[in-house]
Amino acid sequence: MTEKAEFANLLQESRMFEPSEAFKAQANVNDNSLYERADEDFEGYWEDRARELEWFQPWNTVLTWEPPHCKWFEGGKLNICHNALDRHLDGPRRNKAAIIWEGENYDTRTLTYLQLHREVCQFANVLKGLGVKKGDRVAIYLPMVVEAAVAMLACARIGAIHSVVFGGFAPESLRDRINDCEAKVLVTEDGSTRRGKALLLKDTADKALEETPCIKKVVVVKRPYGDPYQCTMKEGRDLWYHDLMAKADTDCPCEEMDAEDPLFILYTSGTTGKPKGVVHTTGGYAVGAHSTCKYVFDMKDTDIFWCTADVGWVTGHTYIAYGPLMNGVTQIMFEGVPNHPHNGRFWEVIEKYRVTIFYTAPTAIRAFMKWGEEIPQKFDLSSLRLLGSVGEPINPEAWIWYHTYIGREGCPIVDTWWQTETGSILMSNLPGVNGMKPGKAGLALPGVCIEIVDDQCNPLATGSGLLVIKKPWPSMLRTIWGDDQRLIDTYFSKWDIQTYFAGDGATRDEDGYIMVLGRVDDVLNVSGHRIGTMEIESVLVEHPKVAEAAVVGKQHEIKGQAIVAYVSYKGDVSHVSEADIAELKKFVADKIGAIARPDEIYVSHDLPKTRSGKIMRRLLRDIAEGRELGDTTTLADPSVVEEIRKQLA
């Protein structure tokens, strides 16, 4: 049997992989003490974690839980930027690299903690100079440049609430996110490259800015590394980052924030057409971000941490902008992609900087598998000591491949389950404590009350069910920006108001290990990115030729899920050409962003509906996956299915 065939046979993998004695001996935690402490005193456990940070003033109350609203560490005052930067400046970390930035085209930039602190203070003063005050919103639309982290930390420093919008989003998505939170200032960039192609963010932003009356000023980062490209600057509104910074004072004290003051808003897809502005607050989020870095990623002063996520997603917030810096490690911030200019780009970065902890997504791992293990084998990956996975279920084959070829069988893997709403990792093995099972995220972290329940919310000791969280945790979302009711409707209404429903299905085995199976709602997970089917549907129906649309997911070898859209057409279906289909795909990409571009679109005169007019999504999923369809005679118009099937052939 070839090695590849052996991997394919590992779908039923059930081995337990124990961390090595050497790893255990050096781990920040290597016994059950954290679990025991959390079991015996839930609030006390979280107080211990909070004490690992610096507070200007201690809290009076650990937790107030008036479901679905929680408050953590009330009365406490802190600043997350102080914890990420200032507190390191009095000791040996002062001149240590905080961020080593590697550009797509091999430019590099290193900022020590002292230098990053100075740049953040200056930018905080720039924001103040533009009239930004505590509680105001600042939108950040930047690619993976150091200035993205600087802008986020600067907002935190002065108590402004940042809303980072992923650089891949289209003008309308940016516009809606800016308007929903009424941001005053937008921070963006003139232009750079992605996979060698021009990425002109300011041009995209300009289109959004035509309909964002709340934005008073736009700060534009000029890329000294990119092409000598010059974007359009609007007189009186648009200002260059470097001009403002040259004049900015380097002294900017941290605002003393209440633990429950909002820190940021991050929009994420849900089951309606409108993205939700997930709100995180300061104290609890800081505790979650800091403690998971310390205990799940086992961060130490000697580590070089690299999280490959984009700052536009929650992973880039918690495990780039905040968590690693709060732990005083050196981290890599990488602007590029895994396969440009060659398929070994990631391994080259690991070799170059001697990365010790590497955190990436299963979709990337599956792509690496396809490209072949010969590629990583050309690089020296011996510096790695711990690997992480996030964003979607990791299939056992990919886990074993990651373990074998990247971890060289010596690195524990943390399969970390969490969500934009949870703020930080809630489920993972602790790498120095528990064994690992390929494909299983494992156990809830200490102080986190995850259960797998049946449809009636009865807890299941083993078997398949729905993933719920029965007690609040510090980095829990506090609300949906401007829409408290949506917090209840989305997460706390399936059973009772105390039970958070995550939207995921999961199974638990006899050892209590949990395998997260994926979303059970109308949210797709495409290459680790959440996309609501309703969002795509509502864009498709805006197209003049589309009457109705239904979007479903289909299993995809690399992306996890692919997007399949079914549309009913106004006009003669028999004349729909490939160009028409391509136009529809482009229409979606232009309106939402390339990540939402459907992989397949099928056109028919109507959608398959029941006689009462309900679109039969399950049937559409079966068609997409090529499954047996069973009885379709209950459909209002069975001929529709044939019409679609003809296009599949």
Task: Point out which span in 44-52, 60-68, 129-137, 311-319 binds ligand WTA (CB under 6 A).
Answer: 311-319
Q: Which position among 390, 539, 563, 615 is part of the footprint of ligand WTA (CB under 6 A)?
A: 390
Helix (H, G, I), strand (E, B) or coil at 639: helix
CA dihedral in degrees (244, 249, 253, 255; nearest 10)?
A: -20
547/550 Cα distance (integer angstroms)? 11
516 makes contact with ligand WTA (CB under 6 A): yes
Helix (H, G, I), strand (E, B) or coil at 382: coil
Polymer length of the chain: 649
420/145 Cα distance (integer angstroms)? 22
Task: Point out which span in 143-151, 308-316, 578-586, 614-622 binds ligand WTA (CB under 6 A).
Answer: 308-316
397 makes contact with ligand WTA (CB under 6 A): no
Return the number of the residue (218 or 426) whose C-beta is nearest ligand WTA: 426
Return the residues of window 312-341 that contact ligand WTA according to CB under 6 A: 313-315
Residue ranges in 372-503 assigned as alpha helix (H): 374-377, 396-401, 484-491
Q: Pattern 520-549, binding to ligand WTA, x per CB under 6 A?
A: -----x----x-------------------
310 makes contact with ligand WTA (CB under 6 A): no
Least CB distance from residue 621 to ligand WTA, whole Å? 17
160 and 136 Cβ atoms separated by less than 8 Å: yes
Return the residues of window 217-276 that contact ligand WTA according to CB under 6 A: 268
Least CB distance from residue 535 to ligand WTA, whole Å? 14
Alpha-carbon distances of 201 from 102, 144, 429, 518, rounded to whole Å: 19, 12, 39, 32
133/117 Cα distance (integer angstroms)? 20
149/569 Cα distance (integer angstroms)? 45
Cβ neighbours, 10 Å, residue 206: 18
Return the number of the residue (156 or 390) whose C-beta is nearest ligand WTA: 390
Helix (H, G, I), strand (E, B) or coil at 224: coil
Q: Pattern 265-304, binding to ligand WTA, x per CB under 6 A?
A: ---x------------------------------------
Q: Which position among 110, 179, 343, 419 is part of the footprint of ligand WTA (CB under 6 A)?
A: 419
418 makes contact with ligand WTA (CB under 6 A): yes
414 makes contact with ligand WTA (CB under 6 A): no
346 makes contact with ligand WTA (CB under 6 A): no
> Which residue is listed with tokens 């380097």?
250
Classify residue 395 by its DSSP letter: P
489/517 Cα distance (integer angstroms)? 23
335 and 320 Cβ atoms separated by less than 8 Å: no
Return the number of the residue (19 or 391) whose C-beta is nearest ligand WTA: 391
505/517 Cα distance (integer angstroms)? 5
Q: Which position among 336, 344, 376, 393 is part of the footprint of ligand WTA (CB under 6 A)?
A: 393
Least CB distance from residue 296 to ligand WTA, whole Å? 11
Cis amide prior to 68 (ω within 30 degrees): yes
Return the residues of window 450-509 that contact ligand WTA according to CB under 6 A: 502-504
Return the number of the residue (154 or 452) whose C-beta is nearest ligand WTA: 452
Q: Which position among 518, 595, 606, 636 is part of the footprint of ligand WTA (CB under 6 A)?
A: 518
**How many chain residues touch ligand WTA (CB under 6 A)?**
23
114/93 Cα distance (integer angstroms)? 9
Binding site for ligand WTA (CB under 6 A): 268, 313-315, 390-393, 415-420, 441, 502-504, 516, 518-519, 525, 530
